[in-house]
Every structure is written in C-alpha cells, then in structure tokens.
C-alpha cells in the first residue's frame, strides 16, 4: 500500500496549543516554527487546526457486474456550495478510539449500503485536507456483490 507521507523526520517546534472550540468537532490554534527547505527554522506562525478522528473510505466493487457501488448522503458542508447537499460518495466512516480501520469499513458498508465485503484490499492512506485538518484516511477497495 502506498503512503503519502515522507519518511524523513522534519523539525517542528510547537510553542503553544490552545483549544478554540469543542463541539461535535474540535478546533485548536497552533503556534509553531518549522524547518525551512533552505535550512534553519521559520518565524513563529499561528494556524487553526480542525481536529478530527481518522477515517476509512471504501470503494465497493462488484466484479460480477463490473461496477462500483456509491451511496448518497446529506452533507452539511455542501450547503450553500451546491444546489443539492445530498452527495454521491464512497462508503466511509470515522474511526473511534480502539477501532481498526477494517472493522469500521465492514460496519459502515452494512449500515450505509447493506453490503458485505468478501475481501478488502488497501489502496493508500492520505490526509484529504492537511492545510487545516488532522484527519487521516485509510482507503480500501472492497469486493462485494450488489443488487440491482
């Protein structure tokens, strides 16, 4: 499986971390300095960080029909951006503490699409929006049998 992070450690000095909001999600403000490409350290910067659970996404694939299965869900983030906030997307779910990505994938497939995976293949792991979010996604291909 590929991974979108590099393996060379980078120096980061966090000088302060403060919580700005805590509700369904959390927002922190980070004060930090980081290593520069040209050498040395940056001046201190401040960035807001949307603190999220890691997630799992699965692309369900029915080999007999040679089709992928997508679901439709309401997403509050789409309000005001598109005419219809019901989006077509992959099976996905947040990984709670002490859960493995594979078990979340199986649970969400059943809950969201009534699917059971006969096999799951890891595709990659990635940060979908690293400029301001801590969410890390585990992406899989899930073999399934879908109905009409």
List pLDDT tens digits, range 64-74.
999 999 999 99
Contacts of 125 (CB under 8 A, 6+ apart): 1, 3, 4, 136, 137, 138, 139
Going along the chain from its start, the domains and CATH numbers come out as 2-51 (no CATH), 55-143 (3.90.79.10)
80: its two tokens = 């005001």
| Per-residue pLDDT tens over the stretch 43-62 | 999 999 999 999 999 999 99
Total residue count of the chain as it appears in this document: 148
| Per-residue pLDDT tens over the stretch 16-27 | 999 999 998 999
Instruction: Judge contact between 60 and 146, C-beta under 8 A.
Output: yes
The whole-number average pLDDT for the span 6-20 is: 86
Instruction: Judge contact between 25 and 107, C-beta under 8 A.
Output: no
């Amino acid at each position: 499986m590929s991974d979108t992070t590099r393996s060379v450690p980078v120096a980061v000095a966090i000088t302060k971390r403060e919580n700005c909001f805590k509700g369904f999600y959390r927002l922190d403000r980070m004060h930090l300095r980081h290593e520069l490409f040209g050498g040395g350290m940056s001046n201190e910067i401040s960035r807001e960080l949307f603190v999220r659970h890691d997630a799992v996404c699965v692309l369900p694939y029915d080999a007999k029909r040679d089709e992928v299965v997508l679901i439709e869900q309401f997403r509050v983030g789409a309000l005001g951006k598109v005419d219809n906030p019901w989006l077509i997307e992959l099976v996905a779910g947040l990984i709670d503490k002490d859960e493995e990505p594979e078990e979340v994938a199986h649970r969400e497939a059943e809950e969201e699409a009534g699917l059971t995976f006969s096999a799951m293949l890891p595709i990659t792991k990635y940060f979908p929006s690293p400029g301001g979010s801590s969410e890390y996604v585990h992406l899989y291909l899930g073999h399934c049998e879908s109905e009409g």
